[in-house]
Chains A and B, each alone.
Chain A
């Protein structure tokens, strides 16, 4: 820990305002989402607590029927927008994080195997990568969604839609990880420490996981940050197209889809606040990822 704070990396971090601001924003948003049930004034996911007559209340104004006030106003079902954004962030962040983890684990493993073992395994994996890239995540999501919908009963559909989202987004983003790791592995495996390890008699798994992997990780980190942002936007897009989470427990994307219908009619807050939140989140992640890439790129030193 001590070592970290004295490292070059942390030095650059402290002296880059962009990095600090974006990192802090990300942490704040994540904390807000985790502690949503303490921070949020209402639980928007509990239908019995909703009062339809609260619908369409502007921010900070008193509702004409119930007299209640809401920090960011209410949406079309009377949900407090501030609470809904917090709870929705949970979903967006969870899906994004899980999808990135899935993509990363899958991509790194496949990249390691392809690069290290080479030969026909490499060809097969790379061809799968090509096939994967054929289907944009939207198509993949719709396909998986349609199949699942046909099989599962409606009661489990909500949990299922989260899983479907994670799988479909994760499955469409593993290729950059795999390609990068494969490339680095190809380079690393020619190095002497690997030859040495082989001579000692370490198994292939041990060599791959304990020796090569740590050395190929830094570009992976950059890709992971960017993929995280992509995953969050992908979830928003899929929710917009109607393939994401259902509207009774909306994520940020769903809220934006709902808000879009009310953009022209004057209830601008329903669109604006979720959009700003999404923008802030994605922007911070992208900025941080950018900075990270610049820092970790040895060539620019």
Chain B
């Protein structure tokens, strides 16, 4: 009798003390903002949504586009403005209802509604139509050969469920709205939501009716996701075995993690570039020579060696290598040359230097604040006295985006893998639908026209030519000072086999255990 009790007690204790072999405890710095897949266009939010919801097509762990809910797609031969998608058959939502073209039409329209942050990705879309239960046509305003690149984060929701729960439009996070979809989900994805405590713990379990059951390894049966803001605590949790995988191992702890017998480090280049933006209209930075001086006063190699501990890829252009339009020539960063920089400053009439404020986030990019601090030192050497103003991303982004900063740091990922995404947000003049992240004041009508033309140019050679021209203009204008491309470091248990995904979006159906 006692023996039975003891054994049961032992089993109960053991089950609390260790997780089952197929549970993955996943941690990163920030939590997802909402479970509503169209309400926010943000990395960590999308990453969690990717486990629960599916898109028509997505990127695999190497970054290549593969079918997801759509099995085929092509532009119609007689009407290049229309993309036809053939949907996968036999897919069911977590609540059992069937996935059909109705749901696709509904979801895409929902993503274009007010309150959605995914609107800009569908700015070229004119109409979405269901042709039959498993075929959908998407018509664009002009022939858009790259539409599919914009659909990799475009999630599919269940029309019936949304109508039943009154979530036919996304909630507007900025307005402080909330709806049923903020905390509840009904997707087609590999995992189902079991419970969600914001900023605390989100638990997912494997979807038994997942359409990808036989396609992907699907070895993970449960995911426990905990946001841990303090990086020291996060690393401590990994080292002590309390979490199995963290996506953002701090660069100073890489050695420790890789030296640990139970852990491994997976490193890969990330599809994200870090740079400074400058005001080209007001103040000393309006002078091109000043901007050029600042550009060559940044010692990217010492930033790489000391601040990033080798975990960065210095660059001379605000474009990661994954992106269409990238060339080795563009990537070359200027030689660090203090004397030349000082001469440029003198030429510009600022041999006595000037004062400026640098706005920087302190919780978004890898070592963001440290990079900015290093920049303060570097600018001081050419006479520029920089006051560093570091803030959490929630406060920094509105300042940068709104044009209140003269000198600011920003990072940019390119989920579409094409230069147009960068141009549309960062280079085009700031208007109602475009250039929303270009507060520098740079505005060139010819360049604007070229950017728009990219959306309907079907001749890919001509298109790439235009892209090269736009880049040439950007490099001359120097409103941005590129620093480096980030490197991803995922730390995980040794018995996990998982490739680093360049979008920093782990898809747990691909994970296998040794």
Q: Do A and B bind each other?
A: yes
B387 touches A154 (CB 8 A): yes
A residues 227-278 touching B (CB-CB < 8 Å): 242, 246-248, 260-267
Number of interface residues of B (CB under 8 A): 34
Whether a CB of chain B sits under 8 angstroms from the CB of A128 is no
A37, B470: Cα distance in complex, Å = 52
Asked whether B82 is an interface residue with its Cβ less than 8 Å from the other chain, the reply is no
Q: A52-B302, A78-B306, A261-B232 are in contact. Are A247 and B373 (CB under 8 A)?
A: yes
Tell yes or no: B377 within 8 A of A by CB: yes
Contact A267 B252 (CB under 8 A): yes
CA–CA, A78 and B303, complex, Å: 11
Specify which of B252, B362, B373 is in contact with A248 (CB 8 Å cutoff).
B373
B406, chain A: closest CB distance, angstroms: 10
CA distance A248 to B369 in the complex (A): 10
* Complex Cα–Cα for A56 and B367 (A): 15
- Report the bound CA distance from A248 to B255 in whole Å: 27
Q: Does A122 interact with chain B (Cβ within 8 Å)?
A: no
| Complex interface bits, B272-302 against A, C-beta within 8 A gives 1, otherwise 0 | 0000000000000000000000000001001
A77→B374 CA distance, assembly (Å): 7
B232 & A157 in contact (Cβ 8 Å cutoff): no
- Interface residue? B355 (CB, 8 A): yes
**Nearest CB in chain B: distance from A162 CB, A:** 14
Residues of B324-354 contacting chain A, CB below 8 A: none
Q: Is the CB of B252 within 8 A of A261?
A: yes
Closest to A246 in B: B388
Report the number of A-B residue pairs with Cβ-Cβ less than 8 Å.
77
Interface residue? B231 (CB, 8 A) = yes
Complex formed: what's the CA distance from A77 to B299 in Å?
13
Q: CB within 8 A of A246: which of B231, B250, B390? A: B390
**A158 contacts chain B at the CB level, 8 A cutoff:** yes
Say whether B235 faces chain A, with CB atoms less than 8 Å apart.
Answer: yes
B262 contacts chain A at the CB level, 8 A cutoff: no
Q: Whose C-beta in chain B lies nearest to the C-beta of A54?
A: B306
Taking the complex as formed, is A50 at the interface, i.e. its CB lies under 8 A from any CB of chain B?
Answer: yes
Q: Report the bound CA distance from A262 to B253 in whole Å.
A: 8
Whether A248 contacts B253 by the Cβ 8 Å rule is no
- Interface: B386 (CB within 8 A): yes
Knowing A76-B307, A247-B369, A264-B256, say if A47 contacts B377 (CB, 8 Å).
Answer: yes
Q: Which of B255, B373, B381 contacts A48 (CB 8 A)?
A: B381
Known: A53-B305, A264-B239. A158 touches B387 (CB 8 A): yes
User: Complex Cα distance A90/B239, Å?
Assistant: 37
Chain A residue at minimal CB-CB distance from B353: A48
CA distance A56 to B378 in the complex (A): 18
* Contact digits for A93-105, partner B, Cβ 8 Å, 1 yes 0 no: 0000000000000
Q: Tell yes or no: B60 within 8 A of A by CB.
A: no
Residues of A close to B362: CB separation below 8 A: 242
Interface residues of A in 29-53 (CB under 8 A from B): 46-48, 50, 52-53
Q: Are B232's CB and A52's CB within 8 A? A: no
Residues of the B chain whose Cβ atoms lie less than 8 Å from the Cβ of A154:
357, 387, 389
Q: Looking across the interface, which residue of chain A has its beta carbon closest to that of B305?
A: A53
Whether the pair B256, A265 counts as a contact (CB closer than 8 A) is: yes
Closest to B376 in A: A47
Inter-chain contacts of B66 with A (CB < 8 A): none
Let me know if B255 and A155 touch, CB within 8 A: no
Closest to A65 in B: B305
Quick check: is A55 within 8 A (CB to CB) of the other chain?
A: yes
Across the interface, which residues of B come within 8 angstroms of A264, CB to CB? 232, 235-236, 239, 253, 256
B500 shortest CB reach to chain A, Å: 21
Q: Does B370 contact A (CB under 8 A)?
A: yes
Closest to A258 in B: B370
Contact check, A155 vs B377: say whether CB atoms are below 8 A apart.
no
Q: How far is the CB of B337 from chain A (nearest CB, A)?
A: 16
Write the nearest CB–CB distance from B97 to chain A, whole angstroms.
Answer: 47
B131 at the interface (CB under 8 A from A): no
Interface pair A47/B232, CB less than 8 Å apart: no
Chain B neighbourhood of A47, CB < 8 A: 376-377, 379-380, 386
Interface contacts beyond A52-B303, A78-B306, A264-B232: sample of 15 additional A-B pairs, CB < 8 Å, sorted by A: A50-B377, A52-B299, A52-B307, A52-B377, A52-B378, A55-B306, A154-B387, A155-B357, A246-B390, A247-B388, A248-B388, A260-B232, A261-B250, A265-B255, A266-B255
Leading 9 A-B pairs by shortest Cβ distance: A48-B380, A47-B380, A265-B252, A55-B306, A47-B377, A154-B357, A50-B377, A52-B302, A154-B389
Task: Jot down 14 A-B pairs with beta carbons below 8 A, ordered by A.
Answer: A48-B380, A50-B380, A52-B299, A65-B305, A154-B389, A155-B357, A246-B388, A247-B369, A261-B231, A261-B252, A264-B256, A265-B253, A265-B256, A266-B255
Which chain B residues have a beta carbon within 8 Å of chain A's beta carbons? 231-232, 235-236, 239, 250, 252-253, 255-256, 299, 302-303, 305-307, 355, 357, 362, 369-370, 373-374, 376-381, 386-390
